[in-house]
Structure 1
Amino acid sequence: MPEVHVHSETMLIASIAALALGPVLHWLSERARGAFAFLDGFVVVAVLGLALLEIVPLGVQLAGWPAIVAVVVGLILPGLFERRVGSKRTHAATSWVVLAGMAFHAFTDGMAVAGSHTHADSHAMEWAVILHRVPVGLAVWWMVLSAGDSKRWAAALVLALIAASTAAGYVFTDFVGAFEQGPTVGLLEAFVGGLLLHVVSHGLGKPKAPDHDHDHDHDHDHDHGSKLAPLLPGLGGLVGLGVVLWLFVYPHLDEGHGRETLTTFWELLLESAPALLIAYGIAGLLGEVLGEAPARWLGRGRAGGQTLRGVLFGLPLPLCSCGVVPVYRSLVNRGVPATAALAFLVATPELGLDAVLLSVPLLGANFTLVRVIVAFILALTVGWLVGGWLERKGGAKLDHAHEGAAKVDERSLPAKLVAGMRVGYGTVLDSTGPWILVGLLLAAFVQPWVDAESLTRLNPFAQVGAFAIIGLPIYVCATGATPLVAVLIAKGLSPGAALAFLLTGPATNATTFGVIEQVHGRKAAFAFVATMIGAVVSLGVLVNLLLPEFAGGAAAAHHHAGHSPIAIASAVILGGLFVVSLVRQGPRGFLGRLWEQGGHDHDHDHDHDHDHDHAASPSETKPESSCCSH
């Protein structure tokens, strides 16, 4: 119908014209004090939303689980080239590859505009395509001007290429429709999404702030905006978050390639939030209220005794894989030896009382006893081997200057409680929030693609390795994993594989690795992973040899009961705390936590300047982390 073609062409023109708003907004930001910092925060969050909620999910939808590998490759590949080629050249090259990938993605946008009239909610799809081009145009302009000595004409050329790619997608929809839905395109989209995440999370894509030649006297040191100025990047990020939710989340609430990921993320957040709120409180109070008593007790004796104390210290604490990491970080900050701290980190989420009690009816008393013994052995092994190695290296390179002041602390108990809350829900949360979100998002992306039932058909010993690896990135608490494992055992999963998942699932995830890297360095994180996998696989194989035939307890139905009002309220409160942290640090400061490392200096020379004076820089408030809930 002619009317349809005219309407589609109008939408195509609008989607291309929307790109031009990016340079206009950038031009305006250069002429208004504070607008540049505000816009920088907006761009960072908007581009992250584009990558995480549009480009990567589309790649996963088209290519399946291999797309997740492509995302990881895109995320880490530039870092590998930095060491050989040099960071500045690598950053510039990565930015240009990302821009080419965004031009390719624009081709799919053009196809979406051309085919939108065939969808029931065609107008919503058209406007979604048009509106998300505004942050795209702004991000392109932002990134090109930051890539080396690039000029405005180069940025305009890239925008013209994206516009031409959009038009080409519109024109050639009928010819390339089948190819556009293929796995090759999905892998390319996922790889570009990973590169885009690397560019933004490493502080790239940020042009220099303009020089404002004010004629008025500067002796007042900008008092007229000094209180608001440090918050401008964060406020821009908050607006960007709203745009992301509107453009990329709201349209997929009922249908779309991101629905399953969003649903999984929300479920994980609901399960994690109560434990996280408890954990942040404990993490703050450990240092401010209890002082040096836990550190002195955990540090007594030799490595073996310290490891055992670390396990015992965590037994009464209601912490799962999400909540244990902030407390672990606080213990290390108080000078607790790595032997005790790592044993605490591994044992606490695996030996929770509720998980043990639930195991008895679902898995049987004998298997529950084996589960407890194996978890105990694993924690002692990791604490003694990895922790002992770290202690011989000299432990974590942390600032313990505050310890002397803590010994003569004369504050009242209410003052200590208030200070503890500020530390736990401020300093600790600022450090761990990004890693928590990374862990939740990674689990949300991976979990729907894990076909656990098909894995039960593997050889029993192959199952052990498969389920040990599956448990590494997945966000799951020991209690929540128990019914799932009971069902899988009933379907033929070997007991060793079941234990492998119960060991790695609660004790490891992206958050755990990230914080160990922050505290002790990258080598320590790799050593932790290698030791965990080696010990878990060995223990799982041993269990299969000793218990080849095993029948679980009562039949278990793995289902999600309705979440309690406490869980929902906790998720809302936790989300609010994350938003406050984002505003306080700014998006670049918030993301900078992901690349802090302990043990050595972070050897990147890219720009981590935060155009805001948040209370503590990443180096001043080192992170702590966490992940799930009972």
Structure 2
Amino acid sequence: MEIAIQYFKEVWEILLEASPYVLFGFFVAGLLKGFLPADFVARHLGNNKKGAVVKASMFGVPLPLCSCGVIPAAAGLRQQGASKGATTSFMISTPETGVDSIAITYALLDPIMTIVRPVAAFISALTAGTLVDAFPEKPKQGKVAFTPLNFAPTTLKKEEACTSGCCSSKPAGKTFKDKFTVGMQFAFGELVADIGKWLLIGILIAAVVSTFLPVTFFQDYVGDGLLSMILMVFIGVPMYVCATASTPIAAALALKGLSPGGALVFLLAGPATNAATITVVAQTLGKRVAFIYVTSIAVTSVILGLAVNWVYAKLGLSVFAWINDVETHQHGFVAYAATIILLFLVGRQFVGRSGHQHSESCGCH
């Protein structure tokens, strides 16, 4: 009973710390949805334009697309003429981070990691895209066609087409009120439906780590160097976890002795890859691209992880100390109110509607 009580205390503490920042992230994501032109990314990345890999890596960083939504969106870019490299870059930087995950990174990790995470996502995406274009393969016939307007596979039946927020193409209207309304409906409706469940799962897993894993686990059994990062690669690559949900898990692992670099490896490799995504990449872009896709993420994340460890050591900083200090401070009214609102928004997706089914139709697992 004491262990169960401790576990639910950990869940509640993580919710209190994360909820205000998650809601803020959703709000900013809604602004992007409402006020960013629907064809903005496609106009800059279509037709194999010069510098498209750089733009694709950059555009993907703030976008609040989950890993289920980035696949049809990237396929739509490819249909409009984007190179395989630009498409690959977009598929990596987009799920690795976003405005919502950046906000929760500040809440659960530290300011350094908040800056490093999007920069690392850009570098890993840029590296993969550049390598893909540097080692092209002959295009194969018989690929599945994708419509560029709604980013849904044309081979899907109408009732099977992607309808979740990550793939939504609902027009935002012309007036400020219309755009704001559409953006907020997307953020606190469709986007919550897409990642809310996974966020709670991530928090539940993080609480398991906090409750049952010894404080010195990584120092005693793995170490804080290269071995721990390789372990994070093997855990993160096949695992389905979105950028927001991966953050509380990484924070819990850091409290058990995982180095900042190891945490970064998990934050990059986990959201960017999973078994389903790798399969789709191989089918739509080719096996060579899929190999470069996975290998570049693994290698780049480890190199960046080593660099992050060096930075923390040079600055004399400790992510463990920061997270531990955050957990010990008292939460105010805003934290409690935000937690209740977030639980309500996520909970209503499971009451009186089949919110989880439309995510599955988009390829979420």
| Same fold? TM cut 0.5 | yes
Q: Does 1:393 align with 2:157?
A: no
Contact 1:397–1:520 (CA<8 Å) still a contact in 2? no
**Which of 2, 22, 44 matches 1:297?**
44
Shift of residue 313, structure 1, vs aligned partner: 2.7
Give the aligned partner of residue 56 of structure 2: 310
**Which of 53, 68, 88 matches 1:322?**
68
Shift of residue 398, structure 1, vs aligned partner: 3.8
Measured in 1, the distance between the counterparts of 2:124 and 2:158 equals 29
Shift of residue 541, structure 1, vs aligned partner: 2.0
Which deviations, in whole Å up to 9, do the C-alpha atoms of 1:4-31 show, x marking residues without a partner?
xxxxxxxxxxxxxxxxxxxxxxxxxxxx
Give the aligned partner of residue 482 of structure 1: 247
Change (3 A) 1:473 1:508: same
**Which of 223, 228, 244 matches 1:459?**
223
Measured in 2, the distance between the counterparts of 1:383 and 1:452 equals 38
**Which of 273, 278, 298 matches 1:513?**
278
What's the RMSD between the two structures over aligned residues?
4.4
Measured in 1, the distance between the counterparts of 2:127 and 2:146 equals 31
Measured in 2, the distance between the counterparts of 1:505 and 1:361 equals 19
Measured in 2, the distance between the counterparts of 1:315 and 1:455 equals 30
Measured in 2, the distance between the counterparts of 1:565 and 1:521 equals 42
Give the aligned partner of residue 567 of structure 1: 346
Which deviations, in whole Å up to 9, do the C-alpha atoms of 1:572-602 show, x marking residues without a partner?
52444489x7xxxxxxxxxxxxxxxxxxxxx
Counterparts in 2 of 1:283-432, with a 5 A limit? 294-299=41-46, 305-390=51-136, 393-394=138-139, 398=143, 426-428=160-162
Measured in 2, the distance between the counterparts of 1:330 and 1:423 equals 17
Contact 1:325–1:626 (CA<8 Å) still a contact in 2? no
Shift of residue 344, structure 1, vs aligned partner: 1.3
**Which of 546, 551, 561 matches 2:318?**
551
Change (3 A) 1:368 1:295: closer
Greater radius of gyration (CA): 1
- Which 5+ residue runs of structure 2 have no aligned equivalent? 1-21, 164-193, 328-338
Shift of residue 495, structure 1, vs aligned partner: 1.3
Change (3 A) 1:498 1:370: same
Measured in 1, the distance between the counterparts of 2:43 and 2:227 equals 43
Change (3 A) 1:565 1:373: same
Sequence identity percentage: 32
Counterparts in 2 of 1:112-511, with a 5 A limit? 294-299=41-46, 305-390=51-136, 393-394=138-139, 398=143, 426-428=160-162, 454-455=217-218, 457=220, 458-460=222-224, 461-511=226-276
Contact 2:60–2:94 (CA<8 Å) still a contact in 1? yes
SS in 2 for 1:322: helix
Measured in 1, the distance between the counterparts of 2:274 and 2:146 equals 31
Which deviations, in whole Å up to 9, do the C-alpha atoms of 1:192-213 show, x marking residues without a partner?
xxxxxxxxxxxxxxxxxxxxxx
Which deviations, in whole Å up to 9, do the C-alpha atoms of 1:377-435 show, x marking residues without a partner?
11111121125434x534896466978xx8xxxxxxxxx9xxx9x98863347xxxxxx
Shift of residue 527, structure 1, vs aligned partner: 2.6
Equivalenced residue count is 272
**Letter paired with 1:531:** S
SS in 1 for 2:300: helix
Change (3 A) 1:396 1:329: farther
TM-score (norm 2): 0.60
Change (3 A) 1:351 1:290: closer
- Which 5+ residue runs of structure 1 have no aligned equivalent? 1-270, 283-288, 407-415, 430-435, 582-623
Contact 2:238–2:274 (CA<8 Å) still a contact in 1? yes
Measured in 2, the distance between the counterparts of 1:374 and 1:341 equals 18
Higher RCO structure, 1 or 2 (CA under 8 Å, sep 6+): 2
**Letter paired with 2:120:** V
SS in 2 for 1:541: helix
**Letter paired with 1:349:** P
**Letter paired with 2:161:** T
Contact 2:48–2:82 (CA<8 Å) still a contact in 1? no
Counterparts in 2 of 1:43-58, with a 5 A limit? none
**Letter paired with 1:479:** T
Contact 1:362–1:482 (CA<8 Å) still a contact in 2? yes
Contact 1:299–1:340 (CA<8 Å) still a contact in 2? no
Change (3 A) 1:337 1:296: farther
Measured in 1, the distance between the counterparts of 2:44 and 2:260 equals 37
Contact 2:46–2:78 (CA<8 Å) still a contact in 1? no
Change (3 A) 1:396 1:324: farther
Contact 2:46–2:80 (CA<8 Å) still a contact in 1? no
Measured in 2, the distance between the counterparts of 1:324 and 1:301 equals 19
**Letter paired with 1:515:** V
Shift of residue 363, structure 1, vs aligned partner: 2.3
Shift of residue 352, structure 1, vs aligned partner: 0.9
Contact 2:89–2:129 (CA<8 Å) still a contact in 1? yes
Measured in 2, the distance between the counterparts of 1:517 and 1:320 equals 19
Shift of residue 478, structure 1, vs aligned partner: 2.1
Measured in 2, the distance between the counterparts of 1:522 and 1:464 equals 26
Give the aligned partner of residue 525 of structure 1: 290
Contact 1:295–1:335 (CA<8 Å) still a contact in 2? no
Contact 1:314–1:344 (CA<8 Å) still a contact in 2? yes
